Amino acid sequence: MAGFEARFERLELKYLIDEFTADRVRRDIEPFCRPDPHNDASTLRRRSRGESGLGYGISSLYLDSPARALFWAKERGDPERLKLRVRTYRNSPIAVLELKRKTSDVISKTRARVDRSQVEAIARGRVPVSSEADPEVGHFLHDFALTSMRVGAQPTIHVRYDREAYSSDVDTYARVTFDRRVEVQRTHEWEFCGKPGGWISFDDFRRTDQRDRSVVLELKCQSFVPWWITALIRRHALKQQAYSKYGIGVYLTGLLDGEGSLPLRSAGALI
């Protein structure tokens, strides 16, 4: 059992761009950011297997109540809301439990690494005794378990994508990420690979004015936007928009069919 992280982010700015714009943005952030060390290694492994793509693979298992209380809090725009997420990385036996809270414009994210085999037990309130060796990890896992039980959380949506990431060298905290090949499937199982053939691509439901496959650009920073990010937004005329992988995934997988939701095809307007 190892690894705890707490982070506060006041801003998460999201944009849908094409590959041409992604190339220009990557060029412009070079003086201010360093690549995530996993970018190159994962890209080289993928190319050695004859696969395409940049960055490293991420899988996220989203937990929610049977009535999808966390999803509806997001849809209503509740000032206080949270996400329960289990993140895994390809070829790793480790799972990252994440508890993301939003209060007004302030986002806090806490997470800890555990063995994949422990995830279901923790979500059901059985925190391993070994976690007490690290007080921060132990406190987080108890918080995650209590929140999960209070919500009645269960596996709901599985999302996977490739992430190319960069971190600022000139700020206390700022991060730039490009997400590609976003796919989703519904699930009721505590597993992290998904079922072959069950994936729905976000690109199949992209906006009609988005001609190329989309790249999801996220700019993350603390209490103020660094000047180089502001310049980046202006230079490329980036238009911010709401973009929730979980929220869109709920629509695309038809979880709300029969509940007065948008029809599946209408969800494409969200992307």
Burial of 242 (0-12, 13-18, 19+ CB in 10 A): exposed
Confidence of residue 5 (pLDDT cuts 50, 70, 90): confident
Average pLDDT for residues 28-55, to the nearest whole number?
72
Phi, psi of 34 (to 5 degrees): -115, 145
Indicate the range of 3-12, 14-23, 129-138, 243-252 predicted with least confidence. 3-12
Average pLDDT for residues 112-123, to the nearest whole number?
94
Between 259 and 147, where is the model more confident?
A: 147
What CATH number corresponds to the domain at position 127? 3.20.100.30
pLDDT higher than threshold 90 for residue 85: yes
pTM, 2 dp: 0.86
Contact call for residues 111 and 97 (beta carbons, < 8 A): yes
| Strand, coil or helix: 244 | coil
pLDDT higher than threshold 70 for residue 266: no
Indicate the range of 61-65, 126-130, 247-251 predicted with least confidence. 126-130
Which residue range is the domain that position 256 belongs to? 2-270
250-253: which pairs have CB atoms within 8 A and are 24 or more residues apart?
250/68, 250/71, 250/156, 250/157, 252/184, 252/200, 252/202, 252/205, 253/157, 253/184, 253/185, 253/186, 253/200
pLDDT higher than threshold 90 for residue 91: no
pLDDT higher than threshold 50 for residue 270: no
Among 86, 149, 154, 82, smallest CA distance to 114 is for: 86
Average pLDDT for residues 108-134, to the nearest whole number?
89
pLDDT higher than threshold 90 for residue 98: yes
- In the chain, pLDDT over 90 holds for what percent of residues? 59
d(CA 192, CA 198): 13
| Strand, coil or helix: 238 | coil
Between 107 and 150, where is the model more confident?
A: 150
pLDDT higher than threshold 80 for residue 163: yes
Confidence of residue 104 (pLDDT cuts 50, 70, 90): confident
Average pLDDT for residues 233-247, to the nearest whole number?
93
The total number of structural domains that make up the chain: 1
pLDDT at position 265:
41
pLDDT at position 47:
47
pLDDT at position 70:
95
H and E: helices and strands count for the chain? 7, 11
pLDDT at position 238:
96
- In the chain, pLDDT over 70 holds for what percent of residues? 86
- Hey, how many other C-beta atoms are within 10 angstroms of the C-beta on 266? 11
